[in-house]
């Protein structure tokens, strides 16, 4: 496994949800939680969509099968795997390395990118050998980097990133994005000359975690707050938030490489970026490029993650890591702004009305509204408007200028086919 590497403004600003009900794939997670870390070693979703739970004894296997999931007998428990990662964390830090729990192989996979010296890799290999034979060492192409610089729509003196999701604390609305995109106090503007201020970064966490808020100066996210753009002036309404599972099919949007699809390959990943170590990340096989940082990862209309970093690119493929949205919401004490579901509210709390009076279904498409997209692209694509210190944020910061994003027609078609099969 070597890597190559917008609804109308809510009448009540407190509208939002901290979490959604777990998706159907949550059965495996529930079983792991009930059986405990000494009898299980993670769960995932197989190619047929059935949950699989790694177990260490026959009684646990029988309970998993009775619940309707598939059991796989393994040698090492989750406690063993987590003990191994604790030992790795206690070793001298080596930038350019990462590790994650591979539930399917019942191993801890340690990766080193092209910047890791032979001497450092040899020392880390000795640590792994001391842990046991269930730690797998792999060298990867490319470099593990945060996905910043070189793209619109969000620019500041710290670099360029992508907006993630809109959130609220009940008094003001914010953009939730990656923490490495800029330190607290970074200022964002909506015009090409940096004169119309939109918001300011605050409460960022990086390294350690990778999330931050951008507070809207107006206090409201405005039109398009619950929509993630997917191209052709269309968008997917976000209806909730959850934690993903290994094997789950996901989509990612970013202002550099557009809409891309992949799947979750591991959870609780640790990445030693040059700037510092980030833990608790979601590992995926979806690609990303510089400028995609902070952009949203989602599935079935459910918010899952924020693009953090990785290796490789969308020409050759790679590995991308995401900050879980659930943890960011908890730590920041904010709620996701979501669409109203057909036939009622979200369950956790009422949600904003959908655009043009329409009710939304989970993962349904919706028109992306707000500032004229073609005008924004003209301004943002003009090289005269890009220079040192230029601060630009394009349109509605969650309806992420779709026509610039979609660079691969096959990915957009795959997305439509997936949602057509899922939601009818």
Active site residues: 180, 210, 293
Tokens describing residue 35: 């059986």
CA–CA distance, 180 with 238 (Å, rounded to integer): 24
Name beta bridge partners: 237: 227
Cα separation, 198 vs 187, in Å, equals 8
Count of positions (residues) in the chain: 424
Task: Tell the residue number behind the tokens 């470099």, with chain if given.
Answer: 143
- For the beta carbon of residue 216, count every other beta carbon within 10 angstroms: 21
What residues have CB less than 8 Å from 300, skipping those under 6 apart?
23, 362, 363, 419, 422, 423
In this structure, what is the dihedral angle of CA atoms 224, 228, 234, 236, given to the nearest 10 degrees? Answer: -110
Q: In the structure encoding, which two tokens stand for residue 342, read together?
A: 């057909």
Q: Is the dihedral of CA 44, 23, 70, 55 positive or negative?
A: positive
Helices 26-35 and 58-66: crossing angle, nearest 10°?
140
| The two three-digit tokens of residue 334, written as one number | 């904010």
Structure tokens at 212: 């931050």
Identify the helix (H) or strand (E) that includes residue 187. Answer: strand 187-189
The first and second tokens of residue 82, run together, are 């987590």
Q: Output the CA–CA distances (angstroms, integers) from residue 201 to 170, 178, 205, 363, 394, in the order listed.
A: 18, 10, 11, 29, 16
């Amino acid at each position: 496994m070597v890597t190559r590497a917008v609804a109308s403004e809510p009448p009540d600003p407190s509208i939002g949800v901290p979490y959604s009900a777990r998706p159907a794939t949550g059965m495996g997670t529930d079983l792991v939680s009930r059986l405990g870390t000494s009898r299980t070693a993670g769960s995932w979703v197989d190619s047929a969509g059935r949950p699989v739970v790694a177990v260490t004894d026959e009684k646990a296997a029988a309970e998993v099968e009775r619940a309707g999931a598939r059991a796989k007998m393994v040698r090492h428990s989750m406690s063993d795997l987590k003990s191994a990662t604790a030992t790795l964390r206690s070793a001298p830090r080596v930038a350019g390395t990462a590790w994650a729990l591979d539930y399917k192989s019942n191993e801890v996979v340690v990766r080193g990118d092209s910047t890791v010296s032979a001497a450092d890799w040899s020392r880390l290999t000795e640590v792994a050998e001391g842990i046991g034979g269930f730690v797998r060492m792999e060298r990867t192409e490319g470099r593990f980097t945060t996905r910043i610089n070189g793209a619109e729509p969000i620019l500041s003196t710290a670099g360029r990133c992508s907006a993630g999701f809109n959130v609220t604390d009940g008094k003001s609305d914010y953009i939730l994005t990656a923490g490495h995109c800029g330190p607290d106090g970074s200022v964002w503007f909506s015009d090409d000359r940096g004169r119309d201020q939109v918001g300011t970064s605050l409460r960022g966490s990086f390294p350690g975690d990778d999330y931050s808020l951008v507070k809207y100066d107006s206090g409201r996210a405005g039109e398009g707050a619950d929509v993630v753009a997917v191209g052709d002036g269309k968008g997917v309404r976000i209806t909730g938030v959850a934690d993903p599972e290994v094997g789950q099919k996901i989509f990612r949007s970013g202002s550099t490489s557009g809409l891309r699809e992949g799947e979750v390959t591991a959870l609780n990943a640790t990445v030693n970026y040059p700037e510092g170590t980030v833990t608790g990340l979601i590992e995926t096989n979806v690609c990303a490029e510089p400028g995609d940082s902070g952009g949203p990862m989602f599935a079935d209309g459910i918010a899952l993650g924020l693009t953090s970093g990785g290796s490789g690119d969308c020409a050759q493929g790679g590995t991308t890591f995401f900050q879980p949205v659930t943890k960011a919401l908890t730590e920041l004490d904010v709620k996701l702004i979501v669409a109203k579901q057909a036939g009622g509210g979200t369950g956790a709390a009422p949600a904003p009305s959908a655009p043009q009076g329409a009710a939304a279904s989970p993962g349904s498409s919706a028109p992306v509204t707000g500032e004229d997209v073609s005008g924004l692209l003209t301004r943002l694509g003009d090289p005269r408007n890009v220079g040192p210190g230029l601060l630009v944020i394009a349109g509605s910061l969650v309806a992420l200028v779709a026509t610039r994003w979609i660079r691969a027609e096959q990915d957009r078609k795959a997305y439509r086919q997936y949602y057509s099969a899922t939601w009818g």
